[in-house]
Structure 1
């Protein structure tokens, strides 16, 4: 696969947004957020920033609201740091793939432990 410019821009946005979150945004709604991925459109007009957050659904909802309300500030900071002629519009989206992966892992663990219990009950002829 050829490595396109928008992939590199996505990686830079990932790095810079993560850096901004480490330094801390002033919005109290934003909890312990981790940026998991950035998808930039081929025309580099829009960027979807995917994140996870430690905590429950309320923490997720509050963090998503805080991030989306800080999007214009983050976009301005990206413009200063990246030196792009046009900085993509940014939207934040919760990344449920980690929750999904954890659920699959727990189901597999249950199946595995249930399988071990059944193996001792059968007798061989």
Structure 2
């Protein structure tokens, strides 16, 4: 299958899944975002990457709800897809956003520490060199 066709199908699946999430699963999955969809070249399987804003408990609840709703989601997706086979969906949690947030936190912390260190150097009294005594000329 051409890469362009796979990319288009990935986009269509992502849009259709978003509609299904909003229409049918909103109460069960909370604030869930589909971050990416990857269909296999034979179009038989698709991996759906998602992220959840919330506690670990909400993330577990969402994962369970998505897994329990897989067959329903496949049926709903198949109604409007105009391809020979509806891909079998597999859900994968995407923690990229969390990792990126953690990296930014660490970078900000390092930056703050540098600012504190530089301000301490600025405010630290400097040692003045001792005055040299003038030697008399003979």
* TM-score with structure 2 setting the length: 0.81
Which residue does the alignment assign to 2:91?
A: 92
> Tell me, what secondary structure is at the counterpart of 1:84?
coil
Pair member with larger Rg: 2
Partner of 2:55: 56
Question: In the aligned structure 1, how far is the partner of 2:81 from the partner of 2:7?
Answer: 14
Aligned length: 123
Distance in 2, matches of 1:98 and 1:49, equals 16
**SS state at 2:121 partner:** coil
1:81 aligns with 2:80: yes
Gaps of 5+ in 1: none
In 2, Cα distance between equivalents of 1:6 and 1:71: 21
Q: Judge conservation of contact 1:29–1:65 (CA < 8 Å) in 2.
A: no
1:102 counterpart residue number: 101
The residue that corresponds to 2:6 in the other structure is 6
SS in 1 for 2:38: strand
Shift of 1:122: 2.5
* RMSD, matched Cα: 1.9
What SS class does the counterpart of residue 120 from structure 2 fall into?
coil
